[in-house]
Structure 1
Amino acid sequence: MKKHVVFPLLSSALISSMAVASVDFYSGVGVGMSTLSPEINQQEQDAQRNIAGTLFLGKDIGSYTAIEGSYSYLNSYDISGSDDSVEYQNFGLSGLLYWPSSSSKWSVYGKAGLNYLDANLQGNAGNLDVEHQVSFASGLGLRWNLNSNWFARVEYNLYDSDYSAAFIQVARTWGKGLEQAQVVETQIESVIEEPAVQTQPPQPITKYELFDKVTLRAGTFDSDSIELNVLPDQELSQLVIILNTYPEAKAEVVGYADSLGSESYNRTLSMQRAAGVAHFLESEGIDSSRISIAGHGETQPIASNSTAEGRAKNRRVELTIPQFEYVLK
């Protein structure tokens, strides 16, 4: 059989197999070099090296093994002293064993099986005795998975002691990509068909006053003074916790004064006292936009202004958190 006939036939067979291949099939081509040292007329010949080509079709069986059929054109051996030559082709069926596995990025593999070596005389010599034989074949290779559909291989094949070839190969897997596409398509369809879930936005609820009004203790301010004698952290700790927990909450700070001095002066003084407490809250991380201040002067006393003790109680600041709405999470 001539090489220009064999190659189209094998190519057609491989293309047909691609059309019907199921999951885990692969097919590929390779190019390399053959080493031929045939026995002609029962005489061992010197080795010759020539360009060679191969076509192969295989199927993975699990992650570690595969079965593969191949056709290799080993080129012609030129007979010394004449214009005659012998053309060699090989047909093989082999099993492959991978390590660590065929799905690894890199893997090595061994192969073993049977092959048929076909020899065809080229020329006028009709009395040459050339080999046509079936023999045991073996091989060793390195596989590199380029992506989910393509892989490359470097492979050495020993057909028998007189014939061998090394190839660089590239192959395409068939069926895996189709299977993955079907999975993606199924997932997309399920998403499209799934009814849309109407999510309700979080509903705000009204939070009633959680914080009892705090009155800073007597002695916080001296007479005619806006300076805090002591930091009111103990009285304000609960208020600061609530304001930090609920960003929607706000604080109202109201200052008062005793009856010493004019009414307008005392109103200004009480406002300044409220501002001083507001500044303390800001130092604890509460934004100023959440704090309102007011000064009521000497109005609304809680004790008699006729004694020093009563006036000390009236020099005070009261803090309140009004009811507020917050989003329930």
Structure 2
Amino acid sequence: MNNMNKMLMVVSAASWMVSAMIHAEVYVGGKVGKSWLDDSCRPTDVCDDDSSAVGAFLGYQAWEHVALEAGYDHLGKFTGAGMVNDHVNAVTIAPKFNIPLYQNLDLYAKLGGAYVDYGSKEDWSYLAAAGLELNATDNVALRLEYQTLTDINNDIVRAEGNMATLGVTYRFGHSESTPVITSQPRPASVEPVIVEEAPEPVEKPADTPVIKTVKKSLSSESSFALNSAKLSKQGIDDLQEVVELMSRHSQATAVVTGYTDSTGSKEYNQSLSLERAQAVADQLVSQGINAERITVRGMGESDPVASNDTKEGRAKNRRVEVEIPTFTYQVVIKQ
């Protein structure tokens, strides 16, 4: 099987993945690094079992923490039993499982198979990989990965092909992955005080007490960076109405509460919800609001507003709510 046929296998696998999961998040990537072979030489062989590797991959995120990847790896050129400066290439396919570690850092593992071009021989092999993935932006992630191809047989030796690589991934349409942000959430604006004119005639100005309650919800998808407690520009803009209200009325206080979905450990969710709530409180303080007027809470995955069984529901549950409890102030009604 030549290299062109192998590339066609990758393209065919990629096309099948896209059509099979039309709502999945598609991504592509590349990687470079060091490669080496184990058990590729006998004591009497001339051996050169180290090289440099490059690879490319395409995948889709089928579920929250499960993806399917197809790739093409060039492990380099080697000399060993049955090989003289011959190349080793592999077409791979495997599911990828992610485990959140901290904010935007994930641990992942892959278990699958590969079709390996090993010099003049071709053979099926098993694939295993593990790595760390850092989500640098909403669309770009960096990977540090170790991958091994076992059971590469050329009728003389049974070798293993190894790669240690640094990679980059680009996700298509990631910022539009949930219906929550296909159209921007309508800001929960501070209600204007409706002042009705008193019936004619009005003898003199009157002071009328007005009771006010304000509640605002910030979506984590639009208000925070991915898996992060850092407020986005949209999140800062959404808080301006709260800042203006609390600046005008010194008796107003705020309760800032963070929530997450049920994905990940309870400890991680609790920590992330509190960090996001604190980021909102810090933004209010930076705009001149006294910190003593703000209460910060992290509720983790408790009190969901939608089902955690769907991607859309989980997106709604990842939120920060700002509530300004009922307070009373005076409005002067003039003729």
Q: TM-score range by the shorter chain?
A: 0.3 to 0.5
Greater C-alpha radius of gyration: 1
TM-score calculated relative to the size of structure 1: 0.47
Higher strand share: 2
**TM-score, normalisation: structure 2:** 0.46
